[in-house]
Structure formats: C-alpha cells, structure tokens
Amino acid sequence: MEYIADENRYKKMEYRRCGNSGLMLPAVSLGLWHNFGHIDNQENARSILRLAFDEGITHFDLANNYGPPPGSAEENFGKIFKEDFIKYRDELIISTKAGWGMWPGPYGDFGSKKYLVASLDQSLKRMGLDYVDIFYHHRPDPQTPLEETMTALDLIVRQGKALYVGISSYQPDETEKAIKILRELGTPCLIHQPKYSMFERWVENGLMDVLTKEKVGCIPFSPLAQGLLSNKYLQGIPEGSRAASHRGNGAIEENQITEANISRVRLLNELAKERGQNLAQMALAWILKNPAVTSVLIGVSKPEQVTDSIQCIKNYQFSADELYRIETILK
Ligand SMILES: NC(=O)c1ccc[n+]([C@@H]2O[C@H](COP(=O)([O-])OP(=O)(O)OC[C@H]3O[C@@H](n4cnc5c(N)ncnc54)[C@H](OP(=O)(O)O)[C@@H]3O)[C@@H](O)[C@H]2O)c1
C-alpha cells in the first residue's frame, strides 16, 4: 500500500539547531547500523522507517559498512526509500560514513582521499541518491594526514555529493584540529558523532567543551549502550535481543550483560519509574538534557521501540537530587 506520511508529524517532534549551522535536526534520530541488513526482515525495516518518519524523525543515519553484510543496510534503505520516501526527499536528512574497513586492499579502509571519495560514490549508488545530506569520516586515521582527510570532505561537498560533513569518534584535540582545517577550507564541520551513554562518558573529558566552544553539533550514538540501558536484560537475555543474536561487527555480546552492569541497571530502572519514565526513556532524556547535544541517535529492532523511546522528549529535565542519585549509581 502506498505510504502517506502522517500530516501531524512535525507537531510531535522537537527540532534543534545543529551548532551554528542553518540545519535543524530532530531531537531523536534513527540509525540503521543493525536490523536493516540482508539478514533482517525487510517488512519490519520498512515499518520502522515509516513509523519513525510519522513521528517526526527526519534524520536517518547510515554508513557504508552497515548490514550485515556490509553495504546491505544502504541497499535495503535505498529500496525502501525509492518505494516510500522519494517524494519526501527534501524533508529528510540522510547521512552516511566511511572510515572502517569496507573492501580489500589498501584503498578500502581508514581516511585517504582515495577511500572516502570512492566509498561515497558506492554509497550513493546503493541508496539510489544523488547526494547525502551529511557525510562523515567514521573514525580517526592515525596514518593519513588530517589535512588529506579533511580536504576529501571539502571536495565531496564541492562536488555536490554531500551538503554537510562531520566526524565521528575523534578525540578532543583531533576534533579541534579537524574543525580548524575544515573552516579554513570553507566547508565547516557540521557535527560530531561520538559514543555516549550513562555507561560511556568519555565525551565529558573535553570533547563536549570543544564542540560547545566551536559551535559544532553533537549526535551521540549507542545512547542505550545497545539496549543494556533498558529493562530488557533484567530477567536474563531474551531470545531475539541483540546480545543473543551474535551479529558481530561490534554488536553487544552476552558476556557484556554482567551482574555488575545489571545491578546498576536495576537501580536506574527504579529511579526512572519514580520520574514516570522507563529506563530507556530516562537514558535518552539524560543525553538530551545536555545543551551541547543536537540529537540523540537511537537504534531499534522493532517499531514499538520507536514509539517507546521517543517519549523521552516529554521530560528531559532532571533535578539536582536525581542527577546526584544517577552519579551515585554509576560510580
Ligand atoms: N559512528 C559510529 O561509529 C557508530 C557506531 C555505532 C552506532 N552508530 C549509530 O548509532 C545508531 C544507534 O546505535 P545503537 O543501535 O547501538 O543504539 P542504542 O539505542 O544504544 O541501542 C539500540 C538497541 O537498544 C534496544 N532498544 C531500543 N529501544 C528500546 C526500548 N525502547 N526499550 C528497550 N530496548 C530498546 C534494541 O535492542 P534489541 O535489538 O535487543 O531489541 C536496539 O536494537 C546506529 O544505528 C548507528 O547509526 C554509530
């Protein structure tokens, strides 16, 4: 059946300015790292994307290597995009990335101009797009000069293959340098995509300060620590969950569901209930309370998780007492 988006979608979501750019992003964005590969159910994938857009989620985040197999999330997104979303292209922010290993040999990994330019061409073909809205360098490359990687991002924008560029998982000092080079080239750095959750706090040691000072946006990934920060694993490891699925490629494994983690999750879950939220909603709200954050980048395995998680925007205010209790639990 033809997909017609909910006409009330923009009333349901909050939109935040990305750094000092002209671009607004939804407070909650959707990532396609898992659950959109060839191994996954495509009608489920379609339902997730339709529901997300109906809820005002205008930003879908991909990367060259998402799947499995690598490339298949872009391919599947491309099919669904063509059937359901092509008429909404100008209402969508679609991002992709290159930086992790994608094809054999010396030109399919890290941060050379050769890799980034070729990879984006492949991504555009897989998705059936003329351009992406945001193109990221996916991780820092210790060997390639930063000037070369940033020049590649600038080139890609000048070629019209991306509108904006970003970086992911760069440390604070590398971030500062990358921002400076990009500014000199005339292609400002739009956004940084770091891993950030209650269980992963590295961004608080300098990165957020750099982004605030430089007025660059921030879109934290894995805000639920891949599902650990929800009530999902409180009674063991459910069948079909990410930890039970052995998806590889950095996906959470059973041995990360430790008693130490679960005992903290149990206490956080109690606090969330007192706030009138579930733990997933509180964990996302805890990210959104930070004014340096533009959007929180979620993953979902089913449409109901979209409905559930986006409730986080209803309350991301925390009292001093709540914040103190969270810090005590996380210690
Ligand atoms: N830049 C990078 O290097 C990088 C790296 C990783 C990810 N990312 C991006 O960030 C996105 C999100 O990462 P992520 O998938 O790890 O995020 P996440 O939100 O931390 O974890 C998603 C998982 O949490 C569970 N979940 C989601 N909503 C839930 C809810 N309401 N209640 C209970 N459980 C819930 C689901 O697990 P089940 O599958 O078990 O149901 C879901 O698959 C990715 O898709 C990708 O776009 C970027």
Q: Which atom of ligand 1 is nearest to the CA of 242?
A: 40
Q: Which atom of ligand 1 is nearest to the CA of 228?
A: 24
Q: What is the pLDDT along the chain (331 residues), one digit of tens a residue?
A: 899 999 999 999 999 999 999 999 999 999 999 999 999 999 999 999 999 999 999 999 999 999 999 999 999 999 999 999 999 999 999 999 999 999 999 999 999 999 999 999 999 999 999 999 999 999 999 999 999 999 999 999 999 999 999 999 999 999 999 999 999 999 999 999 999 999 999 999 999 999 999 999 999 999 999 999 999 999 999 999 999 988 888 899 999 999 999 999 999 999 999 999 999 999 999 999 999 999 999 999 999 999 999 999 999 999 999 999 999 999 9
Atom of ligand 1 nearest to the CA of 193: 1
285 within domain boundaries = no
Residue 129 covered by a domain: yes
Question: How many domains, in total, are found in the chain?
Answer: 1
Q: Ligand 1 centre from 34 Cα, in Å?
A: 8
Within-domain flag for 267:
no
Question: Is there a domain that residue 259 lies in?
Answer: no
Residue 268 lies in a domain: no
pLDDT at 248: 83
Give nearest CA residue, ligand 1 atom 11.
Answer: 31
121-128 long-range Cβ contacts below 8 angstroms, 24+ apart: 121/161, 122/64, 122/71, 123/62, 123/64, 123/74, 123/96, 123/98, 124/161, 126/71, 126/74, 126/75, 126/78, 127/62, 127/74, 127/75, 127/77, 127/78, 127/81, 127/94, 127/96, 128/78, 128/81, 128/82
Kindly report the CATH number assigned to the domain that includes residue 148: 3.20.20.100
Is pTM beyond 0.85? Reply is yes
> Residue 266 domain-assigned?
no
Q: Which domain holds residue 59?
A: 9-227+290-311
Q: What separation in Å is there between the alpha carbon of 180 and the centre of ligand 1?
A: 31
The reply to whether 246 falls in a domain is: no
